Structure 1
């Protein structure tokens, strides 16, 4: 471990100056009583030097070590950063405040004997850089001190994967085995009908009550259960920030897309489905299909690595093919032509598409134009910024209406219950009677 060189504190220097001055005056003025003035300071300085030599710190003190509780924390959760120093030494630390984190103590400054603990609460998903940590180590008497700047601690706040308040049924199960009830009969738990026994039926499915009542061997016919493929398509071509007069902590379009993606992934991975991720804007890397808790960790890690440091438009890429019957959830603010064309491609390939609208509610809110706080930054181009967004939202309503008329449901993301009406309508449409083609 490295050693940091120490230096005397101002208190030790003052004690040496005052004691030497008292001794000089006692000799010059011939008044031995003046020696008593500097005697306590001399004793304190000698005790401090002796204590330091007793600890074996001839050249310096050992710097504290930085220990973190968890490298990844869920959005809204907290973790602890510990600084472990030498017992018996007073250690003080100061941490710069992070915009999207809350520190405890709130001012980011703490002092203790040997070990410090700073609690960090992540308010938003993404990367958090706590530090650099400015530390001061001093002995118990305050005679010697050492300053050290420790490197920052990198934390990763994964988006909160809230539980969707929605059913797990899908319009078209396309897997082999799972939790979704299919239309075809086979091995399963959902009763389809009670019919007469046929060669090849399983003996454990014999319905003995009906058999004893009719005198003919009957068996239970069931529907088979299947899993499905769930594809989440995110639109990160541009991060649309809230209106200037909105709440400073209001989420952006990227925040809404990431939180919706995490919630949908957790919902269907809990049902045993295969979930994959594709990003149109290159900000979030593609995640191949997978199942189980490990896939949820992979997805949330990929989402937390997305950066939101610029407002530039990113080039779009297309998903060329998709398996027919795949449940596809598109999280998009529906502002770019590339995203809308991608929805058309998915529908043309036979996917069951659901669009989650992630445009912040304050963008283009006409009701908020009256009495708003104007955006003043010295540029004339911002004079009609609210009105321009209001017109853009009105034009966007035409796109939403055309999607709904073509059979693609569009719902705004407003929390865990946002997708419940859409999924319930899809389940009802799946079980509704269909006209048979002649």
Structure 2
């Protein structure tokens, strides 16, 4: 179902160019008639004044309403999308945020067909400048804010196709695709042992039993699944390399969710900063698009809650948390520590490449900054949060392979 969005435009009325021209001509004619004592010019100015005086008897001022179909557009980078805009106005001018490409075509029905695309992910509002005339063309109306946002285009990032490894830890006892060392129902060979009462006959290895003279069964390694929750740092960042890290944050979060859903795991997301947006873990292809909506704040399929900590409802018991952050905000670091205390395996990916300073020429300051970050990594690991750095030189799957193995806590702290 295509969602249509209608916006009532609050107009600010002023004298139109026609009214200004009539008033100017009438004023000049009256001034020349008064100075030059030429009564004929008064006759010339009388109709002009009559038109201006008739303003109070004209029809009431009209209202303006702009429609867009669909009102919310989702697409991936460099993908072309179409929408239509129309309204009861004399003139409509469509604009879009910088970075997007817009093609506007007027249809025979009077509607404006827009074909838009963007090379980079983000939110691109589609705005309209409205021009309305009233009172017989003597007044001109335009929006109070200059333009009206009639539609929104959310462009999702395209994540690399590489599979991202999860932190090596004990997985949930649930059927999945991750190979473990536990014996259970699977397809990978685990060993041969003697038959005990209760074993299924289909597990009997008949060639080995014939050679050894007694029944033996083949053990299989179990394949399990887990819950993955991606934590996104949405706090304000200083200018410089910290703003460039948003690119790695977004693409890394999408890549982790994409890899988890392909492996049959449940995936969810929590975006901290301002109002916390979160989506509970689930499986399926539709969950991937729900996660994208939650990260960019599109639609209303996600939950919103105040606070600086990850909501407990968004964190399934025993979930693996992968956080993407510059680790410059204290509130985000406290959220990671809180998740670690609850019993989750937490991995923080540091997406900051270099010091968050502009025009840093002193090598001593750069060296001190790198040492401070190394000390922070050590302190976070002591608490239980593994921190790995992700720079432009490597890929995310290589970085996640450096995470050490941790065992989940026996019970989460309350």
> Which one of the candidate residues 270, 281, 288 is aligned to 1:278?
270
Structure 1: distance between partners of 2:343 and 2:386: 15
1:135-185 Cα shifts (integer Å, max 9, x gaps): 9xxxxxxxxxxxx99973322223434434433574220142111223321
Matched length? 321
Q: What is the distance in 2 between the residues matched to 1:305 and 1:331?
A: 17
Match for residue 77 of structure 2 among 60, 75, 78: 75
Aligned to 1:410: 387
1:369 aligns with 2:365: no
Q: In structure 1, what is the Cα distance between the partners aligned to 2:378 and 2:261?
A: 31
Structure 1 residue 333 corresponds to structure 2 residue 332: no
Aligned residue number for residue 186 of structure 1: 184
Among 252, 260, 266, the alignment partner of 1:260 is: 252
Offset, 1:65 = 8.4
The alignment's TM-score, normalised by the length of structure 2, stands at 0.62
State whether residues 330 and 355 of structure 1, in contact with CA within 8 Å, keep that contact through their aligned partners in structure 2: yes
Structure 2, gaps ≥5 residues long:
1-64, 132-141, 300-305, 408-414
| 3-state DSSP of counterpart to 1:212 | helix
Q: Does 1:155 align with 2:147?
A: no
Q: Tell me, in whole angstroms, the C-alpha distance in 2 between the residues paired with 1:296 and 1:262.
A: 8
**Aligned equivalents of 1:190 and 1:340: distance in 2?**
40
Distance 1:203 1:299, change over 3 A: same
**Structure 1 regions of 5+ residues with no counterpart?**
1-62, 86-91, 136-147, 308-313, 372-386, 432-438
CA contact (8 A) 1:240 1:254 kept: no
Q: What is the aligned-residue RMSD (CA, Å)?
A: 4.4
The answer to whether 1:292 aligns with 2:284 is yes
Q: Could you tell me how far 1:116 is from its partner in structure 2?
A: 6.5
Per-residue deviation, residues 59-109 of structure 1 (Å, max 9, x unmatched): xxxx99865598211234331235799xxxxxx9853242131224xxxx6
Aligned counterparts of 1:219 and 1:416: Cα–Cα separation in 2: 49
Aligned positions of 1:27-426 closer than 5 A: 71-82=73-84, 95-104=94-103, 117-132=113-128, 152-167=150-165, 170-236=168-234, 238-243=235-240, 251-305=243-297, 316-317=308-309, 325-359=318-352, 361=354, 363-364=356-357, 368-370=359-361, 395-404=372-381, 408-414=385-391, 418-426=395-403
TM-score normalised per structure 1: 0.59
**Higher percent of residues as strand:** 2
